[in-house]
Amino acid sequence: MNTQYRIAPVAVMGTFLLLSPFGFSQDPAAVGDPPVFTLDELPVVSAEGNQASPPLKKEASPSSTAPAGPATAPVLGTLDTIVVTGKAENLLGIAPSASKGQASAQELAERPFLRRGELLEVVPGMIVTQHSGGGKANQYFLRGINLDHGTDFAIFVDGMPVNNRTHGHGQGYADINFLIPELVEELEYYKGPYFSQFGDFSSAGAARFKLFRELPEGIASFTLGTDNYYRSLLADSFQAGPGVATFALEYNYYDGPWVKPDELQRWNGFFRYAVGDDDDFASLTVMGYDVRWDATDQVPSRLIRSGTIDRFGFVDPTVGGDSHRYSVSADFQHTDLKGVTKGSVYAGTYELDLFSNFTLFLDDPVRGDQFNQYDSRWFAGATVDHVWDSVDLLGHNAEVTVGAQTHHDWIDGVALRKTSARQLVSTVREDDVHEASLSGYGNVEMHWTDWMRTQTGVRGDLYHFDVNANTLPENSGSEWDGIVSPKAGVVFGPWWDTEFYLNGGFGFHSNDARGVTIARDPLSGEPLASVPALVRTKGAEVGVRTQIVPGLTSTVSVWYLQSDSELVYVGDAGNIEAGDGSERYGVEWSNYWRPTSWLYVDTEFTATESHFASSGELIENAVPMSFSGGITVGEETGPFASLRARYFSPRPLNGDGTVESSDAFQLNARIGYRTSNRWEIALEVVNLLDAVDNDIEYLYNSRLPGEPVGGIEDIHLHPFEPRQVRLSVTKHW
């Protein structure tokens, strides 16, 4: 049988003229006739996603010079398609490492979660918590690193980076609260410094949220829940001239279980206009986010034990803050016989005005130790790369990628101030900063045999720091620094539906620009040594990925990560602390099983060792062991349910490990029903067992009135929120 099928391109009238700078043509004839494929040459895809026959082979179209007989007459038709998406997808022959993966929109929607930052818990081993109010970035933990609010884990939304350099609350601060979860089409993640497209903050890994260019269906949703939780969302896509317009508007209010309610109010807005298809497209996106909240910081455990305050009580009733982020971005992709060119240009403005009090009355026994961290900036950048997907190198087929990136931050006021009840007491330091970077990268993937391929890459980064210190001019200055980071990987197989991976590479993270130019301690005035602008990291990983069991994707990876220094700017204190170099290593084991269309089971286990290289001391708050897993059942219509568990083990709170945090276990559930006319009702229960565990624990000194002048060393904690019940009603169309 040699019946032919014509694969027709998706064409939207008028888009070709609009996008002609990217290689589009207004004349439909210039597009050429769609390619013709013989049915015998189409790949047969198994239920597990394995390709059982050779890849598609393009024949000459009827418009070519080759003669066309009766056998070439096109017969239009459709083929049944089996789509396996998300973590269970078969990535044999595609993935560059054992720990690379992705999650689909469906998987994200099926997960019950308390905060939207927990979207990142789809990354195996990632733990997302919070130590204060819900309007700030979450605490992230991955591969033995207390990532604070984002250091060493790079986050992107399409082509736009989320991490903030030289931020008022911490280097690499990454707040994803501006994301609307229903707009995420896919979350792609990588682990380790092995990939040339990622630079600053990516030593532990990177994640990219890919947003829908066009929503598959309209959404109107309303949710109400425990502790005055309200959320409403309206989103849809519609034809607008030659393209598709997508909009979304979200409002969220939440008091939380706290004795002093959070009174969190958040607005999110989104608009995107897109033209083109999956191969050739362009889009313009505008996003806006505004939030304000009160907060309950971590509190001394001695106050809870003594009954002085409730477990959800507070000491300072005036902490909290407000923040906003507005951005505009343009993304494009163009595909031709020479490969794929894609890029992104973005710009925006961001502000955080945050009030915190961790040590209470330790430094100022009269007015208290409340402090204000302020950050106001404009940012802009661009990235572009080109992929030649079939190049003959040394007689072998290769894929070659070359790209460039630039990012600029104009920070017109990054400040640390002492306050009392949100009233200014004094300014520790206030600076204007311009930080800029220019990066180039390249990667070559060689297919040496049908059982071995390699990836060889290199990345170069050039940074410029310019600091104008308004409070202490001696801390002003400018500095240039650069770093080159080679990467490499090799993949063996597949044999028996199994591949083996070996990856290694050099990475880095930047330090706060204020630490790069600092000369004197802003508090004491004493001379202070500056820190290197860019800190080298090194990593390696060996792993295996197997599909030998039908419907099951299983991966195991053993990894190592070394950092030359834990040098960071400490925003809470306004100075620099120089740490030792560090070493971390561990193992990760993940399993994703989808035996039928209505059942999905996943488990993820990690074990990690983390210590300082010279002293051997343990790294505080590095999580030694974690587990997450769940079971999801349901079809597109009818009943559905999801049950998910998350556990992280006790972790050291001091260098010798004599003080540890408690462990933490949480079980979340979601159950509901979808009707044939696209209504959905869902009940989510977060912390189903009402576990009395903690989101975060720290060990440090704090002082209350009447306590010794030097304060008391104590565990300070932010508790799990008690059982939360949320009911959602959603209409799709």
Q: At a CB cut-off of 8 Å and minimum separation 6, what does 89 contact? A: 49, 102, 553
Task: Please check whether residues 236 and 320 belong to one and the same domain.
Answer: yes
Last residue of a domain, one of 163, 191, 219: 191
- Closest of 622, 628, 584, 603 to residue 121, by C-alpha: 628
Q: Cis omega before residue 532 (within 30°)? A: no
State the Cα–Cα distance between residues 296 and 132, nearest whole angstrom.
6
Answer for the pair 648, 127: CB distance below 8 angstroms, yes or no: yes
pTM of the model: 0.87
Task: Please check whether residues 78 and 110 belong to one and the same domain.
Answer: no
Residue 613 lies in a domain: yes
Check residue 707 and report its DSSP letter. Answer: S
Q: Which token pair is 684? A: 């989510």
Q: Provide the residue type at 181 as one letter.
A: P
- Biggest alpha carbon–alpha carbon distance for the chain: 98
Range of the domain at 471: 205-479+489-732
Angstrom CA distances, 702 to 372, 522, 655, 692, stand at 18, 22, 19, 23
Predicted local confidence at residue 73, as pLDDT: 36
Task: Please check whether residues 57 and 154 belong to one and the same domain.
Answer: no
Q: Which token pair is 629? A: 């897993």
Task: Please check whether residues 392 and 538 belong to one and the same domain.
Answer: yes
Task: Please check whether residues 323 and 447 belong to one and the same domain.
Answer: yes
Task: Please check whether residues 174 and 289 belong to one and the same domain.
Answer: no
Task: Please check whether residues 125 and 151 belong to one and the same domain.
Answer: yes
Last residue of a domain, one of 160, 191, 222: 191
Residue 610 lies in a domain: yes
Residue 445 lies in a domain: yes
Residue 91 lies in a domain: no
Answer for the pair 171, 121: CB distance below 8 angstroms, yes or no: no
CATH for 164: 2.170.130
Count of structural domains within the chain: 3
Predicted local confidence at residue 85, as pLDDT: 60
β-partners of residue 669 are 643, 685
Task: Please check whether residues 461 and 544 belong to one and the same domain.
Answer: yes
Last residue of a domain, one of 32, 58, 82: 82
Task: Please check whether residues 634 and 548 belong to one and the same domain.
Answer: yes
- Closest of 420, 132, 118, 369 to residue 260, by C-alpha: 132
Task: Please check whether residues 142 and 228 belong to one and the same domain.
Answer: no
Task: Please check whether residues 31 and 62 belong to one and the same domain.
Answer: yes
CATH for 408: 2.40.170.20
Residue 198 lies in a domain: no
Residue 614 lies in a domain: yes
Q: Which residue has tokens 């990532």? A: 147
Predicted local confidence at residue 34, as pLDDT: 37
Residue 375 lies in a domain: yes
Answer for the pair 592, 605: CB distance below 8 angstroms, yes or no: no
Answer for the pair 669, 640: CB distance below 8 angstroms, yes or no: no
Task: Please check whether residues 132 and 254 belong to one and the same domain.
Answer: no
Residue 197 lies in a domain: no
Instruction: Report residues of the chain scoring pLDDT below 50.
Output: 1-84, 569, 571-572, 574-576
